[in-house]
Structure formats: C-alpha cells, structure tokens
Amino acid sequence: MNSTDENSAAPGPDFLRHDTAPATAAVEGYLEHDAAVYRTLLESTKAIPWKIDWATMQFAYIGPQIEALLGWTPASWKTVQDWAARMHPDDRDKVVNFCVAQSKAGTDHEADYRALTSKGEYVWLRDVVHVVRDARGEVESLVGFMFDISERKKTEEKLAELQRELEALSFQDGLTGVGNRRQFDAVLHREWSAAKHLGAPLSLVMVDVDFFKSYNDYYGHVQGDACLKRIAAVLSAAVRPGDFVGRFGGEEFVLVLPNTGAEAARQVAERCRDRISAADIAHERSPFRQTVTASFGVGTMIPSEAADPIAFVNLVDSQLYLAKDNGRDCIAAVNRAG
C-alpha cells in the first residue's frame, strides 16, 4: 500500500512545467510561413488586394499587381486621395460619395469605375470592399480587391449596342425603312401628350397610293415593293426635321407633324403630292397620266382631356377616304384646332 500510495501520489510541479520556448518559436515560424503563403497567393492572382486604415485614410497595403495594370507603383498609393484622383472625372463624385457612405454605415459594397493609367488611358475596375470593425463596432479599416473588368464592360457595351439595334429594327418597317405601325403608335402617344401639355396644334397626314392593287397586278409584287420604297423615300425627303414618316400598312403611309397648324399641314401634304408626281413612277393602269399618284387625308387639332388620339386617327382616315371618293390624287382636310 505504501509503495502504491507513493506511486499514486499527486504529480509534482515538474508535470505542470512546460518548455514554452520551442513551442512559441514553432508557432511563430508557422505563422510567418502561413502569412508568406497567403501573401504569395494574393499577389499571384489577377485580383489586386488592398487595405486602407480608416482613421488615417492611408493605404496600409496594395498588391504589386497594380503596377502591371495601371502603371502606378504600389508606393504611389499613399492615401484615398490618390485613389480618387486616379478615377475618371465622370465617375469620381458618384463613386467616392457612394463608397464613403457605405463604409461609414459599415456596409460591404462594390463599385465600378474607370481608373486612370500612367499613360493617360482608362481601365474599368471593380472594387469589392469589406468593412472591418473593431471590438466596439467602430469602423477600423477597409479591405478589398480590385478587379479588371474592362473585357466585361466591352462585352456589356456590345450587348447594349445590339439591344439598341434590335430595338431600332423593331420600330422600323422592314421593306421601306421608315417607321412601322408600332413606332407610329409610340410617336403619336408622345406627341399627343406633348401637344396637350403645351396647348399646341398637332397634325396628322394619311397617304394612300392610288390604284396600287392594279400596280401590283400589272408589274408584279417585286416591282410593287420597289414602288413603295420610292414613295417612302419621297415622303421622308418632303417633311421637316422633327416630323415622323411611317408605313401605316399595305400601301398606306402616315405623317405626324408636331406643333403644326392646319394650313402648314396642308402645305406639307401638297409638297408630298407634288414630289410624288415629280418622281414620275410609271403606272400603266392609272388614269392619271399613267404615273403613280397618291391621295391624302389631313387633320389638325389641339389635344385636350376630352379628346382621344384613336378618334383623331379615325377622323383623318375618314378624310383620306373622302379624297379617294373625290377622284383620288387630291387632298381632303379637316381642322379641329378651333
């Protein structure tokens, strides 16, 4: 028992003693190695790491990749003023104000902008920012990455341009190149609203190519298409800047004349009629000199709350049919502008 008791006695102080020096050195060596690995990883990527001290607004670090991208040495990035000064003037205020506000609120955020290179060119960058807080919850620093998004922006711009082209095509008559019915509806709505707001007159001219079915029957549809293209070109050349020319459907065209009174609208119609006659497009089946002619319906009004644009179109359309009933190659007009 005695020997057992002696063997089982409580451990002495030697058991509790630790030789900390070798362990501490090992940990420090590991941490130094670990930091070196992380630094190597960060500096070998295309993403450019950086850190800004919030209290001093100075760069604590920025990756060496910045020099290869923008031409500015890491040592030249001293404060946030260097960051702001190397930003495109058109982007600066918006981006700086946004980033400062988000950072003060402690909110992680992203910002796209054009950064100036040492050669005077611009590169699109995206800053991805993380806000670091201290134990009291106060902003301590900002850390983040800069990414070169120039190629992405080029792709976005190409897609936007394609979108604009598709939109333009969706408003264009495929045969004649003038506006289509969809664009006419949009233009009429826009100009109607503007005229109502200003109390200004708005005029509409509807044009119908005379005896066009006979033209197609005699010359064929290919030649008929060519005829419509010529009529569209004549009308486009006859109107004023700001006027709209569109194909209403078939052999009918429509003109929208903003801020145009009844007399001026009739003069536009007369000019279009004269120029179609002067184009001297052969039409063997036409009783009018065997050339292509057109009939015109003209209407003018000052839009009001009680008026309706669809009713206005119907009114002008009725004038077109009146012109055709009166023998074609003429103009019928109505003035509701008061």
Residue 295 CA to residue 300 CA, distance in Å, equals 17
Q: Is 131 helix (H, G, I), strand (E, B) or coil?
A: strand
| Residue 246, pLDDT score | 97
Tokens of 334: 């109505």
DSSP string, 45-87: SSSEEEEEETTTTEEEEE-THHHHHHS--GGG--BHHHHHHTB
The DSSP code for 9 is S
pLDDT at 9: 43
CA neighbor of 245 nearest in space, from 258, 234, 254: 254
Q: How distant, in Å, are the alpha carbons of 26, 215, 216, 277 from that of 222?
A: 89, 11, 8, 21
Question: The whole model's pTM is what?
Answer: 0.60
Strand partners, 62: 50
Cα 243 to Cα 39: distance, rounded to the nearest angstrom: 64
Q: Where are the alpha helices (DSSP H) in the chain?
A: 2-7, 13-16, 20-43, 65-70, 80-85, 89-104, 150-170, 181-198, 212-219, 221-238, 262-279, 309-325
pLDDT at res. 242: 94
CA-closest candidate to residue 313, choices 184, 213, 210, 190: 184
* Average pLDDT along the chain: 89
d(CA 100, CA 76): 21
Residue 296, phi then psi, degrees to nearest 5: -130, 135
Amino acid at 252: E
Query: How far is the C-alpha of 152 from the C-alpha of 13, rounded, in Å?
Result: 67
Alpha carbons 235 and 178: distance in angstroms, whole number: 10
Assigned token pair, 80 = 């946030």
Residue 198 in tokens: 């200003």
Residue type, 277: S
Is residue 251 flagged as an active site residue? yes
Establish how many alpha carbons lie within 13 A of residue 44's alpha carbon, considering only the half-sphere containing its beta carbon. Answer: 6
Number of neighbours of residue 105 by Cβ within 10 angstroms? 10
DSSP annotation of 173 reads: -
Output the CA angle 14-19-24, nearest 5 degrees: 155
SS (H, E, C) 302-330: CCCCCCCHHHHHHHHHHHHHHHHHCCCCC
Q: pLDDT tens for residues 277-321? A: 999 999 999 998 899 999 999 999 999 999 999 999 999 999 999
CATH numbers and ranges of domains, the chain: 44-153 (3.30.450.20), 171-336 (3.30.70.270)
How many CB atoms lie under 10 A from the CB of residue 74? 15
The reported pLDDT for the residue numbered 13 is 38
Are 179 and 244 in contact by the 8 Å Cβ rule? The answer is yes
- pLDDT given at position 5: 45
The active-site residue out of 6, 165, 167, 251 is: 251
Q: What is the mean pLDDT of each run of 10 residues along the chain (338 residues)?
A: 43 38 51 56 73 96 95 97 97 97 96 97 96 94 96 91 84 94 95 96 98 96 97 97 96 98 97 96 92 97 94 97 96 90
d(CA 80, CA 144): 13
Q: Tell me how far apart the alpha carbons of residues 315 and 307 are, in angstroms, rounded to a whole number.
A: 12
